[in-house]
Structure formats: structure tokens, C-alpha cells
């Protein structure tokens, strides 16, 4: 399961685009809540450092999606799934990982770090965030797992 840095960046970039398109574009277009990942990143930076320089929250959101979350799939979710459920298809692992990202973001970061209500009070944004994180994980995993499905070159 050797992955190139470019493949990890590609997975993160595509997944972040899908996450933002869904959460900030499509969801409100269809009358549901709009995600505010940069707002959450800003609140987290303020809670940890006491302030947030202009642009830092955007950078945190982008770097998390570009590198941290795809690496979490490769270095945490896949190895754990391989030990517990070795025959589980990567899409099942990705869905579980997306739910884990949702818990991390809305309970860990939003509540424990930024001091907001757990899961943002289980309002409309909570459920949009759940689907957004699952979509993120599915897209990232799809890119990262493609190499394993393609035939080897002679």
C-alpha cells in the first residue's frame, strides 16, 4: 500500500472540494444548513492560541483536508480495519472513517476545544456535517485505493 505524496494531496484536494461543494453550496441550495468549517477552525485557533491571524483558519481548514484527514485514513483507519475486519471493502472503511471524522470535528474540536455545544446541539448543521464528512472520506479513499484496483504494469 505504497502511496505517493502526490496521490495523498490529490485525494485530499478532491475530497475537500467535494466537502465544501456539498456543505457550502449544495446543502443550502436545497434548503439545508450551510457548513462553516473555516468558522470552526477560527474558533479552534482562538481557543488554543487566544487569537487567529487573518487567513489562519482558512489555511487550517485546507491543510486538514489536504493532508491530515487523508493521512488519517491511510495511517489509522485502514490499519485498524485490516486488523479487525480484514475483508471489509474500502468503502465500508471510508464510511466508518467519515463518521469518525464527524465525531472528531463536532465533538472533539467544536465541543472539547472550541467550547461549543456537543455536536453543535444536534441542529441541521450536525447532519449536513455528518454527510459531508462521509462524502469526504469516500472521495479520499476512492483516490487512495485506486492504485490497489488497477492492474500491475509489466
Contact indicator for 7, 148 with CB cutoff of 8 Å: no
Query: What is the residue-averaged pLDDT of the chain?
Result: 93
Half-sphere exposure of residue 2: CA atoms within 13 angstroms, side-chain side: 0
* pLDDT at residue 87 greater than cutoff 70: yes
CA 130, 132, 95, 144 dihedral sign is negative
DSSP 150: S
pLDDT tens digits for range 96-148: 999 999 999 999 999 999 999 999 999 999 999 999 999 999 999 999 998 65
Q: How far apart are CA 20 and CA 143, in angstroms?
A: 17
Contact indicator for 44, 113 with CB cutoff of 8 Å: yes
Amino acid at each position: 500500500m505504497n502511496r505517493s505524496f502526490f496521490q495523498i494531496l490529490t485525494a485530499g484536494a478532491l475530497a475537500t472540494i467535494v466537502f465544501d461543494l456539498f456543505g457550502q453550496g449544495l446543502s443550502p441550495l436545497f434548503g439545508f444548513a450551510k457548513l462553516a468549517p473555516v468558522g470552526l477552525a477560527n474558533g479552534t485557533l482562538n481557543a488554543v492560541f487566544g487569537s487567529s491571524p487573518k487567513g489562519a483558519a482558512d489555511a487550517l481548514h485546507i491543510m486538514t483536508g489536504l493532508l491530515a484527514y487523508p493521512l488519517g485514513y491511510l495511517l489509522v483507519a485502514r490499519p485498524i480495519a485490516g486488523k479487525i475486519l480484514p475483508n471489509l471493502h474500502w468503502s465500508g472503511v471510508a464510511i466508518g472513517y467519515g463518521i469518525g471524522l464527524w465525531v472528531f470535528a463536532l465533538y472533539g474540536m467544536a465541543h472539547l476545544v472550541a467550547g461549543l455545544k456537543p455536536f453543535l446541539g444536534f441542529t441541521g448543521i450536525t447532519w449536513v456535517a455528518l454527510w459531508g464528512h462521509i462524502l469526504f472520506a469516500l472521495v479520499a479513499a476512492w483516490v487512495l485505493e485506486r492504485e490497489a484496483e488497477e492492474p500491475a504494469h509489466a
